[in-house]
Amino acid sequence: MAIVLGENRYGKSRVRVMKVRREGARHEIFEWNVEVWLTGDFRSCFEDGDNSQILPTDTMKNTVYSLARACSAASMEEFGIELVTHFIATNPHAQSAGVRIVSTPWKHIDGFADAFTHASDKYDTTTITLSRDGIRSVSSGFEKLWLLKTAKSAFAGYMKDRLTTLKETHDRLFGTLATAEWRYSGTDLDYNALRQRIEWALVTTFAAHDSLSVQQTLYAMAKAALEQVNEIADVHLVMPNKHCNLIDLSPFGQDNPNEIFVPTDEPHGSIEARVSRSAIGS
């Protein structure tokens, strides 16, 4: 029986960089947590310890800092494209280069041009790969976006067996900590503007949708983003059901007209799906 090396890659993770852009008295800041990697034929390194085709991961870290200083990218997608383009050009043994960036959001404190606070609890993300033959993939999204609605949410008509204790409801709280990723089609895109449009479609659909289940709302959100933004090919959503359980106050002689809940996230329902465009006639 032969023993062979399978799929592999190597790179540098958690390269944290903050860039300050000073335009007169007003400053802008960008904080990115960067992961970079290379794939290719690195068999000789793994099997024989031959490092002659290996770029040190410390050099990868330094490259992130150097390109952050030199680039004029207006979005983290554009910065990621610059990174993978550089690594493919300078590493002839690599078959592909990839980068994933998680952005920490900052906004100005009102009235101050050089002081900031966190803009939101969510984190914007992007993942970019570039192959040796020039095929590029750009996906973007967000992590840990809290969403909650106190109306237009039900869950009923589900399967029941002898172990089912959940009560049907037509008026429940619907909370989730959403993660989304969408894949762009096309090049030379305004990633910042497209992100705003996609997030608006997702969030407003969540708010307006008359939900019969988390699954149904997830699909409606992804469908709305695809219908409103032609520049994306698919949307992947992960929406854990962060339960808010109604408290029984009857032992205290009180009613509870759907007002007092206990929020809990362990255990929670786990719902995810990818929604894609279908080719005409398929």
- Domains, the chain, ordered by start: 10-134 (3.10.270.10), 144-276 (3.10.270.10)
Whole-number percent of the chain with pLDDT over 90: 84
Query: Is residue 72 pLDDT above 90, yes or no?
Result: no
Residue 57 designated active-site: yes
Residue 93 designated active-site: no
Would you place residue 36 in the very low, low, confident or very high pLDDT band (cuts 50, 70, 90)?
A: very high
| Full-model pTM | 0.90
Whole-number percent of the chain with pLDDT over 70: 99
Residue 12 designated active-site: yes
Please report how many Cα atoms fall inside a 13 Å half-sphere around the Cα of residue 243, on the Cβ side.
13
Q: Which of 12, 61, 122, 209 is catalytic?
A: 12
What are the residues facing 8 on neighbouring strands?
none
Would you place residue 282 in the very low, low, confident or very high pLDDT band (cuts 50, 70, 90)?
A: very low
Lowest mean pLDDT among 214-223, 228-237, 244-253: 244-253
Query: Which pLDDT score is estimated for 280?
Result: 53
Q: Cα separation of 152 and 173, whole Å?
A: 9
Q: Which of 19, 57, 85, 223 is catalytic?
A: 57
Q: Cα separation of 190 and 179, whole Å?
A: 22
